[in-house]
Homo-oligomer: A and B are copies of this chain.
Amino acid sequence: MPILHPDRLFPADPETRSIARRLYASISDLPIVSPHGHTEAAWFAKNDPFPDPAQLLILPDHYVYRMLYSQGVSMHDLGIRQAGAIDSRKIWRIFAEHYHLFRGTPTRMWLDYEFEVLFGLDQRLSAETADHSFDVIAEKLQQPEFLPRALYERFRIEVLATTDSPLDSLEHHRAIRESNWKGRILPTFRPDSVVDPAFHGFRENIIRLGEQTGEDTMTWPGYLNALCKSRERFKALGATATDHGHPTANTANLDKQEAESLFTAILSANSTAEQQELFRAQMLTEMARMSIDDGLVMQLHPGSFRNHNQKIFEQFGRDTGADIPTRTDYVHGLKPLLDLFGNEPSFTLILFTLDESTYSRELAPLAGHYPCLRLGPPWWFHDSPEGMLRFREMATETAGFYNTVGFNDDTRAFLSIPARHDVARRADSAYLARLVAEHRIDEDEAFELAQDLTVNLVRRAYRL
């Protein structure tokens, strides 16, 4: 019995469903364009087999273990960030026993897709099927068709962007370029470690950045030069975009002297939280300025309260499923940057949010006016069928479709990429089908839009 139904995520009304089916059929085989994600270039450079099911699908996926943890499963039993050997089969069994927790979540939908489409399993995961599925997946992962490059090709990926620190050597990106492989793996410039004073080791990072670039990063002009050079290095390896993950959407427009003395204050040991926030705000503006110069598309991901769970952070570190969204103000926050560059024809700033109340109130009205702005797809917790539907319903009427940029899978779970794009394509087909069924757009327009939402808008927005 198949796990997946061919009509999943399509509206129940038969007429609407039939339109959705046809729309989906027209896009389901299109290539995957993945301009924003967190896979590792090393996988494709080395092309080693992925590890066992638990190490591949559970340990790196905080969507999975945050849910298990929320229901009383200990991080220790799951082997999260554990030194020494772990018992992968045991972890897999715990996961399988708790699989019902994921009912109604996108994680469940992505995993079911992987189980059936990638691994050929035909039974829902449960305590009973745990061992069988573990064995099947473990065995397949050793086959040549499951090596990273083979999967990249099987997934019909056209381009796959990683996310990288300016301090990264990008050696794996270079190795891929230098190999004969045709896969297009691009780095993305993500400078948190050298622009966010609250980042662990910030001062040391800036010193390293200076060493890397031959600039005196202890001075404001040298620091800016170093960032420019670093961006050039990314561009040379194919990067088309930068990415900025700030706690707020605040930007600033300090004059040179103010910026310089703020930079000095920030480098000292005792800068205040206000100074740090102002510095991050100023750095968004600096990054926009550089984008206008070098043509890198700018992405802004604000509004996550990182590492909210203090004990888990102390014990297990960053990125363990304890980042929580907060209210975000784009209208006042972005004004200084937009006052400077909002009308620049060559500038693209893609906005994301974790605060859905901003879709119709702030983001769609901003993107429906400023030529530089585009709306990124529903992000993180909102990258889900209901989340995507809310995004379309709340953004489209004011921003239109053409101020959006298609889908981002935004994942480090490489094997989930086709599943995620499949959900997005189904969700878009369902939404468009409803517009057609309610005679809000014509059917020929829906087919054109389906192509645009799947491949055209993303290629254009990210300059791919």
Q: State how many angstroms separate the Cβ of A239 from the closest Cβ of chain B.
A: 24
Cβ-defined contact, A434 with B12, below 8 A: yes
Residues of chain B within 8 A (CB-CB) of A14 are: 15
Indicate if A445 sits at the interface (CB-CB under 8 A): yes
Residue of B nearest to A398 (CB): B381
**A242 CB → nearest B CB, Å:** 21
Q: Which residues of B contact A437 (CB under 8 A)?
A: 12
- With a cutoff of 8 Å between Cβ atoms, the chain B residues found around residue A360 in the complex are 356, 381-382, 387
A-B contact list, 14 entries, CB within 8 Å: A7-B439, A11-B12, A70-B399, A104-B400, A104-B401, A104-B435, A105-B396, A109-B440, A308-B369, A321-B369, A325-B331, A327-B329, A384-B397, A384-B398
Question: How many copies of this chain?
Answer: 3
Which of B4, B324, B327 lies in contact with A365, CB distance below 8 A? B324
Give the interface of A toward B (CB within 8 A). 4-5, 7-16, 66-67, 69-72, 100-106, 109, 124, 305, 308-312, 321-327, 329, 331-332, 335, 338-339, 342-343, 345, 354-357, 360-362, 364-371, 373, 381-382, 384-387, 390, 393-394, 396-403, 434-435, 437-442, 445, 448-449
Q: Tell which of A5, A12, A325, A435 has the most Cβ of chain B within 10 Å.
A: A12
What B residues does A109 contact at CB under 8 A?
A: 440
Q: Pick from A5, A71, A311, A381 the residue with the most CB of B within 10 Å.
A: A381
Given A5-B439, A104-B396, A381-B364: A371 in contact with B70 (beta carbons within 8 A): yes
Interchain CB contact under 8 A, B72 and A345: yes
The contact of A324 among B331, B401, B439, by CB within 8 Å, is B331
